[in-house]
Amino acid sequence: MNKILNKDKSSYFEFEKSTSLDLCSFSKYTGWNSLIVIKINLKKDKNLTYDFIRSKFSEIYNKEKILVVVKGVLKFSFKKKEFFLNEFDALNFFSDEYEIECKENTEAYLISAKDLIAHDKNSIFFNFKKDIKPVDLWGGQCISRVYAGENLNLVLFDLKPGFKFNDKGHSNEQITWVIEGEMNFYANKIEKKLNKSNAVDIGANHEHGGISNGAIGFDAFYPKRDEKKYNKNV
């Protein structure tokens, strides 16, 4: 588990440093503004209950969360409702009275923030590719699908090989990671190659960008962005 508290510092971290249990392995990162990303690898026929989440991740209990599956199949049951989550299916939920059944070996990510206020609200089920309209940038070189939760943004991006990009920075905390491919990335003049094993937590107002070698991944933001292009929803 990793944690930094300095908003003036951009930091790279490894997802490979995980905690292994009988039913799953997970790697948790908490950033400088309390944004949390948890990579979870679940084993087939194993179940996760809200008691597990409460015991391992008490700081996000009954707070807004976005669960997204990138490989495998999960059955998510709560409040007499059932959702089957396949590739790029996601659930934006608040209550932690649920059970997760793993139907196939699954890789998923859970996004939340420690500073969120606990409360209940209706859940939203969606698929990033089927339900969110893609934004075509730079002549098809960068395809983004933006989800806006109550307090969180999660963006699925697809960067074509050779695509160069630069962002002058913003006050929102941003954590970026790749699930397929790789890219040469820089944040606050610190350069590193991003691939499936690592991620970057970008400091406040830090200039960042890079060159894609062909990369699919996610940007998580907390608090969510105010700009119109980040207010897309399903």
Domain-ending residue, one of 127, 162, 187: 127
pLDDT at 182 over 50: yes
Across residues 183-212, what is the average pLDDT?
96
Q: Please tell me whether residues 25 and 101 are part of one structural domain.
A: yes
Q: Please tell me whether residues 123 and 134 are part of one structural domain.
A: no
What tens digit of pLDDT does each residue of 106-161 get? 999 999 999 999 988 999 999 999 999 998 877 789 999 999 999 999 999 999 99
Q: Please tell me whether residues 134 and 223 are part of one structural domain.
A: yes
Lowest mean pLDDT among 70-79, 85-94, 101-110, 138-147: 138-147
Residue 36 within any structural domain of the chain: yes
Q: Please tell me whether residues 21 and 123 are part of one structural domain.
A: yes
Radius of gyration of the chain (CA): 17
pLDDT at 1 over 50: no
Q: Please tell me whether residues 91 and 41 are part of one structural domain.
A: yes
Indicate the residue type of 71: K
Beta bridge partners of 79: none
Q: Please tell me whether residues 140 and 226 are part of one structural domain.
A: yes
In the chain, the number of structural domains is 2
Q: Please tell me whether residues 143 and 119 are part of one structural domain.
A: no
Residue 174 within any structural domain of the chain: yes
Confidence category of residue 17, pLDDT binned at 50, 70, 90: low
What tens digit of pLDDT does each residue of 213-228 get? 999 999 999 999 998 8
Q: Which two tokens stand for residue 224?
A: 């969510």
pLDDT at 5 over 70: no
Residue 65 within any structural domain of the chain: yes
Q: Please tell me whether residues 181 and 138 are part of one structural domain.
A: yes
Domain-ending residue, one of 112, 127, 142: 127
Q: Please tell me whether residues 29 and 116 are part of one structural domain.
A: yes
CB atoms within 10 A of CB 64: 21
Residue 223: cis peptide before it, omega within 30 degrees of 0: yes
Compute CA distances 124 → 46, 121, 162, 200, whole Å: 24, 9, 35, 27
Q: Which residues contact 114 (CB under 8 A, 6 or more apart)?
A: 30, 34, 36, 59, 60
Q: Are the beta carbons of 163 and 141 closer than 8 angstroms? A: yes
Residue 142 within any structural domain of the chain: yes
Confidence category of residue 172, pLDDT binned at 50, 70, 90: very high
Instruction: Give residue 22's domain range.
Output: 17-127
Better-predicted residue by pLDDT, 231 or 152: 152
Q: Please tell me whether residues 114 and 29 are part of one structural domain.
A: yes
Angle in degrees, CA 19, 195, 185, rounded to 5:
125
Q: Are the beta carbons of 123 and 150 closer than 8 angstroms? A: no
Judged by DSSP in three states, 100 sits in: strand
Residue 3 within any structural domain of the chain: no
Q: Please tell me whether residues 145 and 62 are part of one structural domain.
A: no
Domain-ending residue, one of 93, 108, 127: 127
Q: Please tell me whether residues 95 and 155 are part of one structural domain.
A: no
Residue 205 within any structural domain of the chain: yes
33 exposure class (CB count in 10 Å sphere: 0-12, 13-18, 19+): buried
User: CATH number, domain at 26?
Assistant: 2.60.120.10
